[in-house]
Amino acid sequence: MRKSRVIATGMWLVLLTVAASIGYGQGANDDNAGRKEPVGSALVYKTVDGRALHIYVSSPPASFTGPRPAIVFFHGGGWTSGSVVQFNTQSLALAARGMVAIDVEYRLIPKPPAMDSPRICVEDAKSAIRWVREHAEQLHVDPDKIVGSGGSAGGYLAGAAALVPEWNDPSDDLSVSAKPNALVLFFPAIAVDPSSPEERRFGGDMKLAPQTYLSAAAPPTIIFAGAADRLVRPEALRQYKAIADKAGSRCELIFYDKQGHGFANKEPYLSITLQAAEHFLESIGYLKPVG
């Protein structure tokens, strides 16, 4: 497969419209499901078999100068569906706070009964982060302050980019790190359990499970989870945190009572989790405290 990378032109401005999104666990009536188009400037980060894959970049106002932290969002959808608009609202809010917010389009795999692995999804996630790091100067991004973020299956992609060494696009420049420096995850499918229905796509291979690679060097992480989630099991996330704690890495796990999968895609939890994410980013020095 021949692949190319192109940097597109466009206005590097924060869009001021209120955005909303759809994705795994979301419905048409969700608060975050109103806007159908991605926000930000469209750039091509790679082309695969003639298909251009885009990132959508929302930049801070011009008053923010110098290299800025970035946050890279991956939408959910079980690796088979979902939309790049899922994190529109969060992207605009964090851009307004001084971050470069990036929403990633990636290739999808067939729905069940097919059981293809999400390999191409992970390859694209790593390619996107590498592209951002390679083009840090053009994007006005600090290459050492890139946050990986995502919901559900997108949370796995962010975590896999940070921790799992397998599944790199062979056309990538592997000398450029695909590892985000921090993780902000929403109901993520990060604690891989090969016995669960969707995760049977991994073929029981724990080498593809982010928790296999947790160490003191793992990036600081915050996880927002529903206490009543039936797709991403609370006990699996508790075990993930326990492994991280034992390894000596920072992992904050916040459960929201009676909430199921996708709860952070709609109000009031969209705003609640966004505010908590901002506090976390302040604590690691990626955002300046307000006031």
Q: What's the pLDDT tens digit per position in 4-29?
A: 333 332 322 222 222 222 233 333 33
Q: What is the CATH number of the domain that holds 221?
A: 3.40.50.1820
List of residues 6+ apart from 246 with CB closer than 8 A: none
Question: Confidence band (pLDDT; 50, 70, 90) for 34?
Answer: low
Residue 163 in domain: yes
Q: Is residue 153 part of a domain?
A: yes
291 assigned to some structural domain: no
Q: What is the mean pLDDT of residues 104-130?
A: 96
Query: Which token pair is 197?
Result: 């229905």
Task: Tell me which residue has tokens 């069940």.
Answer: 112
Full DSSP string of 18-87:
------TT--TTSTT-S--S--SEEEEEEEETTEEEEEEEEPPPTTS-SSEEEEEEE--STTTS--GGGG
| Other Cβ atoms within 10 Å of 248 Cβ, number | 11
The answer to whether position 8 is within a domain reads no
**Lowest-pLDDT range of 34-48, 79-93, 167-181, 209-223:** 34-48
Give the H/E segment covering residue 279: helix 269-283
Q: How confident is the model at residue 198 (pLDDT cuts 50, 70, 90)?
A: low
Range of the domain at 256: 41-283
Task: For residues 210-215, give the mean pLDDT.
Answer: 96
For the chain, give the mean pLDDT.
Answer: 88
- Stretch 104-129: mean pLDDT, rounded? 96
Residue 10: inside a domain, yes or no? no
| Residue 228: burial class (beta carbons within 10 Å; 0-12, 13-18, 19+) | middle
Residue 291: Cβ within 10 Å count: 3
pLDDT at 100 over 80: yes
Q: What is the dihedral of CA 233, 199, 267, 99, to 10 degrees?
A: 120
- The mean per-residue pLDDT over the stretch 108-114 comes to 94
Residue 66 counted as domain residue: yes
Which pLDDT score, from 0 to 100, does residue 25 have? 35
pLDDT at 120: 98
Query: Confidence band (pLDDT; 50, 70, 90) for 92?
Result: very high
Q: Is residue 264 one of the residues assigned to a domain?
A: yes
Question: For residue 109, which of 90, 131, 81, 67 has the smallest C-alpha distance?
Answer: 81
- For the chain, what is the domain count? 1
Compute the distance between CA of residue 160 and CA of residue 104 in angstroms, rounded to an integer: 15
Q: What are 244-281's pLDDT values in tens digits? A: 999 999 999 999 999 999 999 999 999 999 999 999 99
Tell me what pLDDT residue 20 has.
27
Would 238 be classed as within a structural domain?
yes
Question: Is the C-alpha dihedral spanning 224, 228, 229, 232 positive or negative?
Answer: positive
